[in-house]
Amino acid sequence: MKIGCPYGTHRVIAPIGVLPQAAWKIDNNMEPFDNEVLVDVSVLNIDAASFRQMEEQAGGTKERIAEIILETVADRGKQHNPVTGSGGMLTGTVMEKGSAFPGDIQPGDKIATLVSLSLTPLRVDKVHHVNVEKDQVTISGQAIIFASGIYAKLPADLPEDFALAMLDVAGAPAQTAKLVKPGDTVLVVGGGGKSGLLCLYESQKRAGITGTVIGLSHSDNGCERIGASGLADIVLQGDATNGIEILDKVKSVTKGGLADITINCVNVPGTEMASILATKNGGIVYFFSMATSFTAAALGAEGVGKDVQLLIGNGYTKGHAEIVLDAARDLITKGIL
């Protein structure tokens, strides 16, 4: 049998000895090993920070964004943005399942991968459409799932592109559900985006009537979305790259108490200190954004004498796909999504 490493190290080209996510280049030959799955890819859901960077590099033109994706995959064997270091995820149809693959999927199943494109062997034959509103790219191509790769079968009751967008941020609301306790004051930075609204939903649900949920957005549209959703007790507008501005706003609405938990969902860099300063000593700051500099967060907290727990946004937690899809269904019923 042709068995590869379950974590995909057999496909690493350079540098040898690292896992596929950390590799600069991986082998995107689409002949699967016996413990791999071959997927016919239909849509790439690009990580928000990565898509924003490519859009800026491309001057906002869809044609150039498509070219950047083709160049990245040709150079690296995967959609791994060399600037942001992030990827995204994909949807497609299972074409071939190796006899030693441990999962329950079968050829013909429509799935979304729940591991990053930054580690997924990918071949892009053609880019058909770039959707700048959803950070999604329709392609013809193929991908490989390793034996350790996680995925979700696409639900029949939700549109595929919508389900993909929800599953791409599944880690954020699921981790929020684990962190928030009754009575907590929760600040969601970037609360007007898709991950932000889902985190507001879980925060409101878990903090309960004794808690306080604060939604922060920089834009008028984001604040309007938060307000219209009814998912936040308080809506704040401010620039999260200005730490003192956000500290003052949060101090004002919490009467100096600050947040017990801050969830950072923004897709721009430089928001670490706003999140840290707005959180009380002994509190938790959860960075879901791939635009986060964890060096800046760690050294910044030390520099201002803040004793807060800093959590890296792990995109996986047990049951995260089910949690986010259930939340999405509820928000659709309420007319929020």
Alpha-carbon distance 94 to 90, whole Å?
12
Distance separating alpha carbons of residues 296 and 119, to the nearest angstrom: 25
Query: Rounded mean pLDDT of the chain?
Result: 95
| C-beta separation of 191 from 265 below 8 A | yes
Q: How confident is the model at residue 267 (pLDDT cuts 50, 70, 90)?
A: confident
- pLDDT of 326 reads 92
What is the model's pLDDT at position 334? 86
pLDDT in tens, 145-197: 999 999 999 998 988 888 988 998 889 999 999 999 999 999 999 999 989 99
Per-residue pLDDT band at 38 (split at 50, 70, 90): very high
| 3-class secondary structure, 320 | helix
Do residues 24 and 132 touch, judged by C-beta distance below 8 A? no
The two beta strands, 185-189 and 212-217, are: parallel
What CATH class has 171-333? alpha beta
Average pLDDT over residues 90-105: 95
Instruction: Name residue 244's amino acid.
Output: I
- Domain map (residue ranges) of the chain: 9-160, 171-333
Please report the pLDDT score of residue 148 as a whole number.
Answer: 95
Please give the model's pTM, rounded to 2 decimal places: 0.84
Q: Which residues pair with 311 in a beta bridge?
A: 286
Structure tokens at 331: 């928000």
Q: How confident is the model at residue 99 (pLDDT cuts 50, 70, 90)?
A: very high
How far, in Å, CA of 82 to CA of 87, rounded? 10
pLDDT for 273 equals 97
Q: In this structure, are residues 182 and 206 in contact, taking their beta carbons and an 8 Å threshold? A: yes
| Distance (Å, whole) CA 146 – CA 152 | 14
The values of phi and psi at residue 315, to 5°, are: -70, -5
On whether the CB atoms of residues 161 and 43 are closer than 8 A, the answer is: yes
Q: Residue 9 pLDDT more than 90?
A: yes
The pLDDT of residue 311 is 95
pLDDT bucket at 60, cuts 50 / 70 / 90:
confident
Which residues, in sequence order, are CB contacts of 275 under 8 Å at separation 6+? 187, 189, 240, 262, 264, 285, 287, 297
Q: Quote the pLDDT of residue 67.
A: 97
pLDDT for position 320: 92
d(CA 153, CA 149) in angstroms, rounded, equals 13
